[in-house]
Amino acid sequence: MNMSTYKRGGKWWIRFRFNHKRYFKCSPDNSQIGAKAYEALLRQKLARGEPIIEPKSEISEAPSFREFSTQWFETDVKNNNKYSEMLNKESILRTHLNPFFGNYRLDRITSLAVETFKSKKLKEGLANKTINNLLIVLSKCLKTAQEWRVIESIPRVKLLKVQTQKFDYLSEEECRLLLNNCNGLLRDMIIVALKTGLRFGELIALEWSDIDFKNNLITVRQSITRGRLGSTKSNKIRYVPMLDEVQQLLLSRLDKNAYVFAKEPNKPLGPMYCLWHLHRACRASGLRKIGWHTLRHTFASHLAQKGISITLVKELLGHSDIRTTMRYSHLSPLATREAIKALEIKSGDIVETISKEGGKKIVNLIPFKSKIPAKAQ
C-alpha cells in the first residue's frame, strides 16, 4: 500500500508533507485511486501558492480519536520519541485515553469532555500528577491533529494543581550503615551512585570508555531503560568529576568487560537483580526500603546541605529544567541565612550616603552609628 494513502475506518485518507508541513486529510472520493488523485490535486495547489480551502463536507469527516491516535503513534511518536517514552504513550493511549475518547470524532472533543475525563480519573483514585501525564499526551495528540490540519481548533486542556513532591534521602550516618552491610559489586555501585548522582540506568550503562582516569572525569552519555540502550533522560552528555575514592574503586575493578558493572561479559545488569540486592542490604542495615533513585536524591541533598549552589547541582545531575533541582533548595538553610545576613548593617560598618551641594550629588563614606542600644544588639 502506498504510504501516503491508506484506509482507516472504512475511509481512504491521504498523508503527505509539503514545505515542512504535514497534511492529513480524508479523500472525498472513497477509493485508493481517488485518494491518490486528491493528493495530486492538493500538491498542485500548494505548488502554485493557492490555499487549501477546507470544504464543510471534509471537516465533517474528521476521524475518530482512536483512528487518529493510532496514526499519530505510528508516524509521530515512533519517529520522534525515545523507546521508554514510546512505551509510556502506548500504555496511556491503550489504558486511559482510547477507552474514554476512542469513539469521539476529533472535532467533537470539547473542554467539557476533557473536564469529564478528569473527573472520572479523580473518582478512580488517580493522583493529580498521574492525571496530568495523561492530559499531556492527549494535548500533544490533539495539537498534532491541528498541525496536520485534520481539525481547525482544539479544546483547552487545563492541568490539575500538583503539590511539590516529597523525596527520600539518606543521612550520612545511614549511608555508612548501608555500606557496612554490603560488599563486592553492590557496594561499589552504591558508592559510585552516592558520589556521582548518576541515575540507575546511567550507572548500569557506564562503560570503561566513559572513564577518564587522567582527568578524573566520568562521561555520562547513555542510559539503559527497560532493557534498551539509549541516550540520557535529557538527551545530553554531561561530565561528572571523580573523587579519589571513586577513582581508586574503579581502578580496582578495571577489566576487559565493556561495562563497568557487570556479572556476565559485555552484558549489563538487570534492574530487578540490582533492586533485590539493594533491598536485602537495607534489611541487613535495619533501614527502610529504598530504591536506587534515593541514592541520587542523597547525592543532591548532601550537596545542597553543604551550601553548593543549586545551579551547579543542576549541572551535575543533568536536569534540563532548574525547577526540578529547586526541590533541594530548602535543604540549604546555611546558604539562605548567609544571604539574608548580607543585608545586615552593624555599628561601625562603612556605609555610603548621598548629599547634595550646589545642585550636585556627592557620595560620602561614613561609619554607621546604630540607634539600637548595644545590649539590644
Q: Burial letters for 199-212: b for 16+ Cβ neighbours within 10 Å, e otherwise?
A: bbbbbbbbbeebbe
What are residue 148's phi and psi, to 5 degrees? -80, 5
pLDDT of residue 172: 94
Q: What is the pLDDT of residue 284?
A: 95
Q: Give the pLDDT of residue 307.
A: 85
Residue that has been written with the C-alpha cell 491508506 in this structure: 6
Contact 184, 166 (CB under 8 A): no
pLDDT score, position 106: 94
The DSSP-derived string for 273-301 is: HHHHHHHHHHHHHTPPP--HHHHHHHHHH
What is the pLDDT, as a whole number, of residue 60? 46
Distance CA 193, CA 203 (A): 7
Nearest of 297, 327, 323, 300 to residue 313 by alpha carbon:
300
pLDDT of residue 194: 96
Contacts 24+ apart (CB under 8 A), 141-145: 141/65, 141/68, 141/69, 141/72, 141/97, 142/106, 142/109, 144/72, 144/76, 145/24, 145/68, 145/72, 145/106
pLDDT mean by block of 10 residues, the chain; 377 residues: 66 82 80 85 86 53 90 92 92 97 94 96 95 96 92 93 86 95 95 96 96 95 91 91 94 90 90 95 96 95 90 91 86 64 60 60 58 50
Question: What's the confidence (pLDDT) of residue 44?
Answer: 87
Compute how many other C-beta atoms are within 10 angstroms of the C-beta atom of residue 29. Answer: 12
If you ran DSSP here, which 8-state letter would residue 217 be given?
E
Are 291 and 198 a contacting pair, CB within 8 Å? no
pTM of the full structure: 0.68
Residue 216 β-bridge partners: none
Tally the C-alpha atoms within 13 A of residue 48's C-alpha that lie toward its C-beta. Answer: 8
What is the per-residue pLDDT for 234? Answer: 86
In order of their start, the domains of the chain are 5-59 (no CATH), 65-147 (1.10.150), 172-333 (1.10.443.10), 346-377 (no CATH)
Model pLDDT, residue 273: 94
Is the CB of residue 285 less than 8 Å from the CB of residue 279? no
